[in-house]
Amino acid sequence: MPCPYGDLSMKPFVYLALSLSLACGDAPEPATPEAVQDHGAGTVVRASPGLDTIVPADYTIEKLAGGFIFIEGPAWVRGWPGSPFLLFSDVRGNATYKWDPATGQTSDFKKPNFEGEYEDGRGIGSNGITLDKDGNVLIAEHGNRRIAKVTKSGEWSTLIDNWEGKKLSSPNDMAWHSNGWLYFTDPPYGLAKQDDDPDKEIDFNGIFRLSPDGKTVEKLGEQTRPNGIGFSPDEKTLYVANSDPKEKVWFAYPVQDDGTLGERRVFADVTSETGEGVPDGLKLDTAGNLYGTGPGGVWIFSPDGTHLGTLQPDEVPANVGWGNEGKTLYMTARTGLYRMNLLAGGKLP
């Protein structure tokens, strides 16, 4: 039909094509919206184009298991009978579990970890887990206030439980340097009253390292709440999370030639973030990007501290670990175990 508004081409205005169509009564059919992709049990917030080299566009976050209390410390185990499998801790459930990728089933690795009396809800179980060069499993145990060593034959022993004759508070997480020293953090989370607990023997919360022969423990530094720990690929920087609600940061320490630490700097600061969670467990990929659990998810930072994006499974994660062939990130998130395949990858325990 003729357009009732006359010859619009002569008007001294520019009209949108859609407006013309509507005015003349010949509006196009509405476009069919593209199907929204199902990313599974969570989502990803992209803060920088740099994330595109890490997270595929068609990513999926999988929930593998649930029903726990507060899980932590995922570590991929190879070379053991029945391996590969994933170990992880339930800090408040007082247990260490094994997840079998072949069956998708979870079983007890050790339950309970701590056999004494304790208040319900207290973080008395295991936390960070790693392996040594001989394939033994090392487990940071809050309640037992030690780092335990577990052999492939199932023998448990104490690797370290004191510094200068004083009992550790509650070892939390660990990282190996290629020189054979084991670096670890010791916050007070396993103690009922934390810093004010009468059983606390060390009057600070520290970063330590254990010598290759297991005979020497050195203090390297102090933080209000030292937590996750990891080295840059070139081992020139040690990153340590600070899980203090008043100072939610990741620190970067220069590693000296003798393995001691220089003056720290703030690598990333999320103190102003109001999402659930604080800087906790962390890992690095082979390019030096840091994956740190924090408020609302897993924060990914480039080596220069740029926030690339955040992985957000359906529950807020407390720790992460590389598994499978090194490009699968496992996330322990409150009551559930999650994973996602990435384009980037990291070193297996």
- 168-186 per-position pLDDT tens digit: 999 999 999 999 999 999 9
Cβ contacts of residue 208 below 8 Å, gap of 6+?
Answer: 163, 183, 184, 185, 186, 217, 218, 219, 220
Smallest CA-to-CA distance from 161 within 177, 139, 178 is with: 139
Residue 6's pLDDT is what? 42
- Enumerate the domain spans of the chain: 42-341
- 293-337 per-position pLDDT tens digit: 999 999 999 999 999 999 999 999 999 999 999 999 999 999 999
- Rounded CA-CA distance 310/332 in Å is 15
CATH class of 42-341: mainly beta
Q: Which residues of the chain have pLDDT under 70?
A: 1-36
Element (H, E) at 240: strand 237-244
Q: Give the phi and the psi of residue 76 in degrees, each rounded to 5.
A: -85, 125
Residue 16's pLDDT is what? 35
Handedness of CA 40, 46, 49, 54 (dihedral sign): negative
Residue 2's pLDDT is what? 41
CB atoms within 10 A of CB 60: 14
Residue 14's pLDDT is what? 34
Radius of gyration of the chain (CA): 25
162-168: Cβ within 8 A, 24+ apart? 162/217, 163/202, 163/206, 163/208, 163/217, 163/219, 164/217, 166/201, 166/202, 167/199, 167/201, 167/202, 168/202
pTM of model > 0.95: no
Burial of 346 (0-12, 13-18, 19+ CB in 10 A): buried
